[in-house]
């Protein structure tokens, strides 16, 4: 049961990052706004980056929650496969990473 | 009428990930066919103990044999293991699965109570009756132990009434009829009807998991109906309509089919009427044995095996569905039944090929 | 050590009459990994017979197995133990028991069993009986509780008997008839009181003179009413007394249970050491006999084969010689490539690398004859971890935690091992932190949310610190190059392993991909340089492209269709190293963003409340980021090693070195 909670906490953490990052992006954009770029463009970029990051994080969180509960079940019966459970648990993070890279590229 | 251990509320919702992963883990510890082969060649019970002491059954065997290493003690350990396993599984299922599986496990209460009243009817020794019970339903081993010790059917019913058991309801209704005719059928029919009605009600809905559980229940109901049909072939009802014996909720055997069959005069005709159902093939496969032994238990066994296979098949479907759990519990029951056969067989010196015939290896 | 512990395959031959002495010596020395000859003899590969277990031994074993089971049952019933076991006493007891002749040992064990078995069994029995009774009484209580008001209405003396009835409410009218009939039977010496207990049940208590007990009971049994049944030992009691007695028992039974458990505990405290040691001794003795059929024999000689670490061979030879002189001969056999699959594997590494063996063990045991990859984990795991986290602040905290755990749990092997793995990781984390110039993100660097303490300098044309938040693309290229390096290394190790194990397919496949990879890089490099180097370079490009193609052909020859898949996979594996950049960057940017939030909250000019809130929030968020930084990067670092890297060369072995030795009272179940 503990592991299930852990999964939730981690998912929440990922989600939190997803929420914070766009705001930062927006803040940075506002700070360094170049006169030549229309504000609509900056805003659209920020929103796009936020979506890229946020949606991919939601996807990863969902996947991790599923894997986490199954992994906790597996661990309860077969502790010897712990390493594979942990590895599987970490796999969906790639989804967030891709979202993150996209977000950076949109802003960069 | 949920399982006896449901002291802790199941996790709400329908997340099958956790439970199914655990069930899969447990499934990986079911004994292999090779282990069974080795067990069957054991010369005595001690050898069986040696072989099983390092398996899942070890702790239960250790607990049981402190009072002596008898076949009975080992048998006791097997049953304790099965009870413990079922309780454990019920303990971690999600709410939906707990409900569905709990409903299906109700059949064990049905089975146990029927065994007890049948045993009392035939004046069997309490130990003999207790031997055949599986305390994996709502009634605990201790409660079943009290029931088998009672003097007669009436006392059993009274005790169930006193305990407020839901099965007291159909029994007290049918007890008068039993008192008059001394015919068990009325009590059994009341129990069957009560259970199938209760279970059908709880298994209504269109979600895939509910449909699956209902299907398993339906197969069980069909089996009972078919056996009733076969019994009716042999007995003269003396004007009573056979319709009253029909149990609703079957998977293939409709009321019309049942009525048709109950009007027939021999087994071949019944099998012919069943042609459109999967049962025809199952029953035809054993008809030679039936003719040879002349006992309905041949058909009973064939139908049981069929339901077992179907329940095991349920584990090959949706990996995030209730089928995984159903298949595991049935497989576990199968394993325990087989182990018990082996221990009993070994104790009386049954040759291993005879034993192999008795086993239900699926 | 780069290689696995070299094993010596030995064959020990001696006269049969000295067989058991030889086995005892081997068991005592505990270094030989015994080969089970059963299969080889069965298949006719070895023209000898299986060693017979002497009749006496067979029965001895049976007797000991028997005793062992009894001991295990006792241990189980005693539910042992939470308390600490004195290892020294245990060792002493073990040696004492081990030295006994088998007959004496059995007697000793039987004596111990006799002393505890019966008492334990009866305690276990009472325990389960009490537990059952508690739950059973619980089933009677509700209904008795409901009829209490009725039961207390009637005064029962010895002259009266009573029966409680439960009737479906719709048949309540039945009570009137019952009363009439009972009046007839008892000549009006009876009374009925009734009440509704729930929606569909009515309860009634019938009181009647004992004189008519029999006819009344007979009559009621015929009627369609249910009687309340009391537990068998309370039958005949009036219902109020029965109820009180049940409640009383339900109150006292838990105490009884506690008393039984206490006694079990005290027995366990008294006997655990001996019982557990007996269990271990018996296990070892049985093991010794059970090993016998694994050996071979000819008419006059015994044959034992097995493996021993080559370094220990001399010791064994010396001991054998001292004990048996020239009677027993040890000969060393060559381990051919064919034998490698079944040769047991042992790792032996220096102290620093040892903990990484555990990490490797999580993945699997390598196959005998291949290289010991422990050092690669020791090298790459900390580097990857450091590259990803790369923060002086987080690294220092991690180091602090590692050092604290190490000093706090000196005896805990698990923690010592784990921290020995994490220590280097934390160190690399600090090293890369310095390279990136990160201390809790960009706290010390330049920028609106930083303290402006670190300034960029140029070293040999490279600007340091390497600010990865600004240099995303270069950072990605670095990550990819790390991938290329590790994959090339992996393939090279794969080639070496293939040569060492004589696997031609692996050699062609891995070598082919390796050639393809290297030739491709040179080809691309030459192509890019063509503008400056001219035609020669273009020609070279084509030549190397042809070499690359040749490599591909070889890869397919070696691996068939899997060769194609492997080749394509190699490319995607290299791309997988981008995660070093992505995970690292995400953490770094998050850390910097936290600092930004703190600065925003602090306001400009700085407001005290804002600053306080900012700092608090900063601590919370940095803690969160730290936890993520500790967990996720280690998983990714492991995954790159296990999946992408090991996949190129690791071959799993199936036998771990497990020498024939005594448990020595180490307490295995």
Predicted confidence (pLDDT) per residue in C70-106, tens digit? 898 898 888 765 556 777 888 888 888 888 887 888 8
Q: Which residues, numbered 211 to 270 in chain C, qualify as contacts with chain B under a Cβ-Cβ cut-off of 8 Å?
A: 221-222, 224, 226-229, 231-232
**Is residue B62 assigned to a domain?**
yes
Contact B63 C124 (CB under 8 A): yes
User: How far is the C-alpha of C250 from the C-alpha of C244, rounded, in Å?
Assistant: 10
Cβ neighbours of residue C413 closer than 8 Å, sequence gap 6 or more: none
Q: Quick one: closest CA in B to C223, which residue?
A: B176
Query: In this predicted structure, which of B25-39, B124-138, C16-30, C38-52 has the lowest mean pLDDT?
Result: C38-52
Q: CB distance from A31 to chain C under 8 Å? A: yes
Q: C450: phi > 0 → left, psi -120 to 50 → alpha, else beta; which?
A: beta
Confidence class for position A12, pLDDT limits 50, 70, 90:
low
Q: How many CB atoms lie within 10 A of CB A98?
A: 18
Range of the domain at B148: 108-202
Question: How many angstroms separate the CA of residue A8 from the nearest CA in chain B?
Answer: 14
Q: What pLDDT, on a 0 to 100 scale, did the predictor assign at position C667?
A: 39
Angle between helices A39-77 and A93-107 (to 10 degrees): 170
Instruction: Give how far Cα C449 sits from Cα of A23, A42, C278, C599, C615, Å.
Output: 15, 22, 69, 6, 13
Nearest Cβ partner of A77 from B15, B17, B25?
B25
Nearest Cβ partner of A69 from B18, B25, B26?
B18
Mean of the pLDDT values across residues C137-142? 90
Mean of the pLDDT values across residues C320-340? 84
Mean pLDDT for chain C overall: 84
Cβ neighbours of residue C660 closer than 8 Å, sequence gap 6 or more: C26, C27, C30, C32, C33, C34, C291, C306
Q: What pLDDT, on a 0 to 100 scale, did the predictor assign at position A108?
A: 63
Which H or E run includes B212? helix B208-234
Residues in A touching B15 (Cβ below 8 Å): 69
User: How far is the C-alpha of C425 from the C-alpha of C378, rounded, in Å?
Assistant: 9
CB B201 within 8 A of CB B281: no
CB C285 within 8 A of CB C105: yes
Same domain, B197 and B231: no
Q: Quick one: closest CA in A to C600, which residue?
A: A27
Which H or E run includes B24? helix B16-27
| Subunits close to C (at least 3 CB pairs below 8 A) | A, B
Q: Who wins on pLDDT, C482 or A96?
A: C482
| Token pair in block for residue B266 | 């021999």
The class level of CATH for C157-237 reads alpha beta
Mutation for testing the C interface, residue in B7, B64, B162 having most C CBs under 10 Å: B162
Same domain, B220 and B236: yes
The number of distinct structural domains making up chain A is 1
Range of the domain at A85: 2-107
Mutation for testing the B interface, residue in C63, C66, C72 having most B CBs under 10 Å: C72
Q: Is C652's pLDDT higher than 80?
A: yes
CATH of the domain at A29: 1.20.120.610
Q: CB distance from C136 to chain B under 8 Å? A: yes
Residues in B touching C232 (Cβ below 8 Å): 146, 149
CATH of the domain at B84: 1.10.132.50
User: How far is the C-alpha of C598 from the C-alpha of C575, rounded, in Å?
Assistant: 36
Mean of the pLDDT values across residues C429-444? 89
CA C617 to chain centre: 38
| Token pair in block for residue A45 | 């970029």
Q: CB distance from A8 to chain B under 8 Å? A: no
Contact A78 B19 (CB under 8 A): no
Mutation for testing the B interface, residue in C66, C70, C139, C144 having most B CBs under 10 Å: C139
Contact C143 B142 (CB under 8 A): no
CATH of the domain at B251: 1.20.1690.10
Query: In this predicted structure, which of A80-84, C299-303, C434-438 has the lowest mean pLDDT?
Result: A80-84
Query: In this predicted structure, which of A20-24, A74-78, C128-132, C427-431 has the lowest mean pLDDT?
Result: A20-24
Contact A94 C628 (CB under 8 A): no
Q: What pLDDT, on a 0 to 100 scale, did the predictor assign at position C235?
A: 82
pLDDT tens, position by position, C457-496? 777 777 778 888 888 888 888 999 999 999 999 999 999 9
Instruction: Give how far Cα B188 sits from Cα of B194, B213, B258, C210, Å.
Output: 10, 23, 18, 36
| Token pair in block for residue C113 | 């069993």
Same domain, B155 and B213: no
Residues in A touching C635 (Cβ below 8 Å): 86-87, 89-90
Q: What pLDDT, on a 0 to 100 scale, did the predictor assign at position C511?
A: 85
Same domain, B291 and B234: yes
Question: How many angstroms separate the CA of residue C44 from the nearest CA in chain A?
Answer: 37
Question: How many angstroms separate the CA of residue C169 from the nearest CA in chain B?
Answer: 13
Same domain, B79 and B115: no
Q: CB distance from B161 to chain C under 8 Å? A: yes
Residues in B touching A66 (Cβ below 8 Å): 17
Confidence class for position A17, pLDDT limits 50, 70, 90:
low
User: How far is the C-alpha of C393 from the C-alpha of B4, rounded, in Å?
Assistant: 55
ipTM computed for the complex:
0.83
The number of distinct structural domains making up chain B is 3
Cβ neighbours of residue C63 closer than 8 Å, sequence gap 6 or more: C106
Cβ neighbours of residue C564 closer than 8 Å, sequence gap 6 or more: C555, C556
| Token pair in block for residue B115 | 């065994």
Q: What pLDDT, on a 0 to 100 scale, did the predictor assign at position A33?
A: 46
Q: Who wins on pLDDT, B90 or C571?
A: B90
Same domain, B219 and B182: no
**Is residue B327 assigned to a domain?**
no
Q: Quick one: closest CA in B to A81, which residue?
A: B25
Residues in B touching A5 (Cβ below 8 Å): none
Nearest Cβ partner of A86 from C586, C624, C635?
C635
Contact B142 C132 (CB under 8 A): yes
Question: How many angstroms separate the CA of residue C410 from the nearest CA in chain A?
Answer: 25
Mutation for testing the A interface, residue in B22, B28, B89, B328 having most A CBs under 10 Å: B22
Residues in B touching C166 (Cβ below 8 Å): 161-162
Last residue of a domain, one of B202, B228, B251: B202
Q: CB distance from A63 to chain C under 8 Å? A: no
Contact C639 A16 (CB under 8 A): no
Percent of chain B's residues with pLDDT above 90: 50
Contact C631 A10 (CB under 8 A): yes
User: How far is the C-alpha of B66 from the C-alpha of C430, rounded, in Å?
Assistant: 60
| Subunits close to B (at least 3 CB pairs below 8 A) | A, C
| Token pair in block for residue C526 | 């030459």
Nearest Cβ partner of B66 from C121, C227, C232?
C121
User: How far is the C-alpha of C489 from the C-alpha of A28, rounded, in Å?
Assistant: 42
Same domain, B238 and B134: no
Residues in A touching C639 (Cβ below 8 Å): 87, 90
Same domain, B242 and B294: yes
Helices (H), C292-345: 310-324
User: How far is the C-alpha of C420 from the C-alpha of C374, rounded, in Å?
Assistant: 14
Mean of the pLDDT values across residues C266-275? 86
Q: What pLDDT, on a 0 to 100 scale, did the predictor assign at position C80?
A: 61
Confidence class for position B180, pLDDT limits 50, 70, 90:
confident
Contact A87 C639 (CB under 8 A): yes
Query: In this predicted structure, which of B18-22, C523-527, C590-594 has the lowest mean pLDDT?
Result: C523-527
**Is residue B98 assigned to a domain?**
no
Torsion angles phi and psi, residue C445, rounded to 5? -80, -155
Mean pLDDT for chain B overall: 88
Contact B17 A70 (CB under 8 A): yes
| Subunits close to A (at least 3 CB pairs below 8 A) | B, C
Nearest Cβ partner of A90 from C578, C589, C632?
C632
Same domain, B114 and B168: yes
Same domain, B188 and B222: no
Q: Is C280's pLDDT higher than 80?
A: yes
Q: CB distance from A5 to chain B under 8 Å? A: no
Confidence class for position B3, pLDDT limits 50, 70, 90:
very low
Residues in C touching B154 (Cβ below 8 Å): 221
Q: Is B236's pLDDT higher than 90?
A: no
Q: Is A73's pLDDT higher than 80?
A: yes
Could you give the 3-state DSSP secondary structure of residue C665? coil
Contact A4 B18 (CB under 8 A): yes
Q: What pLDDT, on a 0 to 100 scale, did the predictor assign at position A36?
A: 64
User: How far is the C-alpha of C370 from the C-alpha of C653, rounded, in Å?
Assistant: 9
In angstroms, how far is the first alpha carbon of chain B from the final one? Answer: 30
User: How far is the C-alpha of C519 from the C-alpha of C551, rounded, in Å?
Assistant: 8
Q: Quick one: closest CA in A to B319, which residue?
A: A70
């Amino acid at each position: 049961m503990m592991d299930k909670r852990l999964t939730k906490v981690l998912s929440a953490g990922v989600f939190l990052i997803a929420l914070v990052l766009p705001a930062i992006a927006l803040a940075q954009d506002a700070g360094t706004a170049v006169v030549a770029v229309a504000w609509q463009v900056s805003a659209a970029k920020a929103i796009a980056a936020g979506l890229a990051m946020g949606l991919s994080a939601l996807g990863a969180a969902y996947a991790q929650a599923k894997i986490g509960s199954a992994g906790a079940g597996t661990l309860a019966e077969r502790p010897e496969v712990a390493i594979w459970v942990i590895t599987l648990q970490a796999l969906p993070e790639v989804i967030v990473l891709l979202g993150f890279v996209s977000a950076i590229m949109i802003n960069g | 009428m949920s399982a006896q251990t449901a002291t802790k509320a199941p996790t709400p919702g329908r997340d099958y990930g956790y439970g199914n992963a655990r069930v899969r883990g447990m499934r990986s510890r079911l004994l292999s066919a090779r282990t069974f082969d080795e067990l069957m060649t054991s010369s005595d019970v001690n050898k069986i103990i040696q072989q099983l002491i390092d398996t899942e059954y070890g702790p239960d065997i250790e607990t049981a044999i402190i009072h002596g290493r008898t076949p009975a003690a080992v048998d006791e350990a097997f049953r304790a293991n099965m009870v413990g396993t079922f309780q454990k599984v019920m303990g971690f299922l999600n709410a939906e699965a707990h409900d569905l599986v709990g409903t299906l496990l109700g059949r064990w209460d049905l089975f146990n109570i029927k065994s007890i009243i049948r045993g009392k009817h035939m004046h069997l020794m309490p130990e003999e009756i207790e031997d055949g019970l599986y305390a994996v339903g709502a009634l605990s081993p201790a409660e079943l132990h009290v029931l088998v010790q009672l003097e007669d059917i009436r006392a059993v019913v009274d005790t169930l009434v006193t305990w407020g058991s839901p099965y007291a309801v159909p029994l007290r209704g049918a007890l008068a009829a039993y008192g008059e005719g001394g015919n068990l059928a009325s009590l059994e029919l009341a129990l069957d009807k009560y259970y199938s009605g209760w279970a059908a009600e709880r298994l209504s809905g269109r979600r895939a998991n509910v449909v699956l559980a209902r299907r398993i229940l339906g197969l069980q109901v069909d089996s009972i109906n078919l056996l009733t049909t076969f019994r009716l072939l042999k007995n003269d009802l003396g004007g009573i309509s056979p319709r009253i014996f029909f149990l609703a909720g079957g998977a293939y055997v409709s009321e019309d089919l049942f009525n048709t069959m109950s009007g027939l005069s021999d087994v071949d005709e019944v099998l012919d009427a069943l042609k459109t159902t999967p049962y025809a093939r199952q029953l035809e496969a054993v008809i030679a044995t039936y003719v040879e032994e002349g006992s309905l238990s041949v058909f009973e066994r064939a139908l049981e095996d069929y339901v077992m296979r179907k329940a095991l098949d349920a584990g090959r479907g949706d990996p995030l569905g209730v089928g995984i759990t159903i298949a595991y519990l049935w497989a576990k029951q199968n394993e325990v039944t087989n182990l018990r056969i082996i221990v009993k067989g070994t104790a009386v010196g049954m040759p291993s090929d005879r034993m192999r015939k008795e086993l239900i290896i699926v | 050590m780069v290689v696995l512990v070299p094993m010596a395959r030995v064959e020990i031959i001696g006269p049969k009459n000295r067989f058991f002495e030889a086995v005892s010596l081997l068991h005592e020395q505990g270094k030989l990994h015994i080969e089970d000859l059963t299969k080889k003899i069965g298949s006719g590969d070895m023209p000898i017979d299986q060693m017979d277990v002497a009749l006496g031994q067979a029965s001895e074993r049976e007797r000991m197995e028997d005793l062992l089971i009894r001991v295990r049952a006792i241990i189980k019933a005693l539910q042992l133990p939470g308390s600490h076991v004195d290892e020294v006493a245990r060792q002493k007891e073990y040696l004492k028991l081990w030295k006994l002749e088998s007959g004496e040992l059995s007697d000793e064990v039987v004596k111990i069993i006799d002393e505890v078995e019966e008492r334990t069994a009866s305690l276990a029995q009472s325990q389960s009986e009490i537990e059952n009774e508690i739950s059973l009484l619980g089933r009677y209580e509700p209904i008795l509780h409901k009829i209490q008001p009725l039961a207390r209405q009637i005064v029962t003396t010895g002259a009266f008997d009573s029966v409680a009835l439960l009737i479906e409410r719709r048949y309540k009218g039945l009570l009137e008839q019952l009363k009439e009939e009972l009046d007839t039977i008892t000549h009006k010496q009876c009374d009925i009181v009734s009440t509704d207990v729930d929606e569909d049940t009515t309860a009634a208590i019938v009181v009647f003179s004992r004189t008519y007990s029999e006819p009344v009971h007979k009559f009621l049994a015929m009627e369609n009413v249910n009687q309340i049944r009391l537990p068998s030992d309370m039958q005949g009691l009036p219902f109020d007394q029965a109820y009180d007695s049940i409640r009383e028992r339900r109150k006292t039974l838990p105490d009884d249970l506690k008393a039984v458990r206490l006694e079990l505990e005290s027995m366990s405290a008294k006997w655990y050491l001996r019982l557990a040691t007996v269990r271990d001794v018996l296990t070892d003795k049985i093991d010794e006999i059970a090993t016998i059929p694994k050996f071979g024999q000819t008419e006059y000689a015994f044959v034992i084969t097995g493996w021993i670490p080559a370094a220990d061979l001399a010791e064994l030879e010396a001991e054998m010689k001292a004990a048996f002189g020239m009677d027993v001969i040890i000969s060393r056999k060559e381990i051919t490539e064919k034998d490698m699959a079944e040769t047991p594997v042992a790792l032996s590494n220096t102290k620093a690398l040892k903990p990484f063996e555990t990490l490797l063990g999580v993945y699997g045991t390598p196959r005998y004859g291949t290289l010991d990859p422990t050092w690669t984990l020791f090298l790459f795991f900390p580097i990857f971890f450091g590259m990803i986290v790369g923060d002086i602040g987080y690294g220092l905290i991690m180091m602090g935690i590692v050092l604290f755990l190490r000093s706090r749990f000196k005896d805990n092997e698990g923690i010592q091992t784990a921290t020995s793995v994490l220590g280097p990781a934390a160190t690399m984390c600090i090293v890369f932190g310095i390279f990136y110039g990160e201390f809790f993100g960009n706290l010390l660097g330049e920028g609106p949310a930083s303290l402006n303490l670190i300034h960029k300098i140029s070293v040999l044309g490279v600007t340091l610190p390497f600010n990865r938040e600004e240099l995303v693309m270069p950072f990605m290229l670095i990550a990819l190059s790390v991938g290329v390096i590790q994959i090339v290394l992996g393939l090279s190790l794969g080639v070496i392993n293939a040569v060492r194990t004589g696997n031609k397919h692996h050699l062609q496949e891995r070598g082919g991909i390796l050639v393809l990879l290297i030739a491709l890089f040179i080809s691309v490099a030459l192509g890019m340089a063509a503008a400056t180097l001219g035609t020669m370079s273009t020609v070279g490009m084509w030549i190397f492209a042809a070499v690359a193609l040749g490599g591909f052909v070889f890869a397919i020859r070696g691996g068939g269709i899997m060769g194609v898949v492997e080749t394509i996979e190699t490319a995607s594996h290299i791309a997988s190293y981008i995660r070093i950049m992505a995970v690292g960057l995400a953490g770094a940017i998050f850390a910097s963003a936290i600092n930004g939030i703190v600065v925003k909250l602090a306001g400009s000019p700085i407001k005290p409340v804002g600053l306080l809130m900012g700092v608090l929030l900063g601590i919370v968020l940095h803690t969160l980021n730290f936890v993520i930084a500790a967990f996720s990067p280690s998983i990714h670092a492991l995954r790159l090693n296990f999946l992408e890297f090991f996949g190129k060369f690791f071959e799993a072995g199936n036998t771990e070195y497990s020498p024939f030795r005594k448990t020595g009272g180490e307490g295995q179940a």
